């Protein structure tokens, strides 16, 4: 009898709402997509991992919700690693270079050494060209003038067409694929299978859904979050919105400054910012560093005015 119990197959955790979208392609950009291939675990798996001392069904949904929120709030991450997801993505190579920096995943990418490069490239509409941000060295700002954008889009199309023509010529002449591909532009689409646990996926989403992330990769992150994660682990997603994506952290100095402001001690708050190096003075004007600028944004979220400089 004991031997028979040992041979019983464990029941696979199923999430009906997620099962309905396995294999469905969710479009991103002009020719990209995100597609769910497989998943393991659920909110229940996270709870079971945290409560390893007893089995399934010993707590209510409200208890599970409270525990998941506690785990998220206090950064107990290992239970979230009990869940995994495998995605199939099509993405331009320039965005893939950002994506692949998240090294906590298993990856297998389409190889242009073995196969002909995907005949698709990310195109930019005239109204989609953006100016370089004046405050963020790696980001973009307002849209470029439409007339200038039309010229840029026209030249983009010419460049992409020429690059593809040269690539085809090399392939037709028998040049090795690994060498023929070298001048393909970064706008060329690639595909990959990407498998990652939930803890690290949420970290990816926190960074790539942030307003400071590149707009195009935010679209991929938003598709993963909205079409897959929220269906898969709704309790975890709710907790992540409250304690991760929608939350903010305060440093020791920021807490001290806000405490002084709450007591009406504006001058002391500004003095603390100067002594901590967040503010400096040059030619009689207050200069704020990046950290002070971030504090100003946090104060605005709290409905508070920064105690220094002009509004």
Measured in whole angstroms, how far is the alpha carbon of residue 190 from the centre of its chain?
18
Q: What are phi and psi of 65, to 5 degrees?
A: -60, -45
What is the C-alpha radius of gyration for the chain, rounded to an integer number of angstroms? 25
Set 35, 90, 208, 231: catalytic member: 208
Task: Look up 252 and say whether it is catalytic.
Answer: no
Give, in order, the Cα–Cα distances in Å from 45 to each of 40, 194, 222, 238, 260.
9, 21, 24, 16, 44
Angle at 116 between CA 114 and CA 118, to 5 degrees: 125
Would you name the residues annotated as active-site residues? 208
């Amino acid at each position: 009898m004991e031997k028979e119990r040992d041979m019983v197959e464990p029941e696979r955790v199923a999430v009906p709402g997620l099962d309905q979208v396995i294999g469905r392609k969710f479009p991103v950009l002009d020719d990209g997509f995100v597609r769910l291939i497989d998943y393991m675990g659920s909110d229940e798996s996270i709870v079971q991992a945290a409560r390893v001392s007893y089995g399934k069904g010993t707590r209510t949904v409200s208890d599970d919700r409270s525990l998941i929120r506690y785990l998220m709030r206090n950064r107990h991450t290992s239970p979230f690693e009990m869940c995994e997801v495998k995605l199939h993505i099509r993405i331009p190579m320039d965005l893939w270079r950002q994506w692949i920096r998240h090294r906590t995943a298993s990856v297998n990418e389409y190889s242009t050494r073995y196969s002909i490069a995907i005949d698709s490239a990310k195109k930019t509409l005239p109204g989609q060209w953006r100016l370089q941000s004046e405050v963020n060295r790696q980001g973009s700002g307002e849209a470029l003038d439409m007339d200038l954008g039309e010229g840029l889009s026209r030249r983009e199309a010419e460049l992409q067409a020429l690059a593809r023509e040269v690539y085809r010529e090399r392939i037709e002449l028998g040049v090795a694929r690994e060498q023929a591909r070298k001048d393909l532009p970064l706008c060329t689409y690639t595909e990959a299978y990407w498998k990652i646990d939930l803890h690290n996926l949420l970290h990816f989403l926190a960074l790539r859904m942030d307003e400071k992330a590149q707009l195009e990769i935010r679209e991929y992150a938003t598709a993963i979050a909205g079409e897959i994660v929220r269906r898969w682990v709704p309790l975890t997603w709710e907790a992540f919105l409250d304690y991760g994506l929608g939350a903010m952290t305060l440093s020791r100095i920021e807490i001290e400054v806000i405490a002084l402001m709450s007591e009406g001690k504006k001058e002391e708050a500004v003095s603390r910012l100067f002594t901590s190096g967040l503010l400096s003075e040059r030619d009689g004007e207050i200069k704020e560093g990046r950290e002070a600028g971030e504090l100003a944004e946090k104060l605005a979220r709290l409905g508070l005015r920064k105690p220094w400089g002009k509004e």
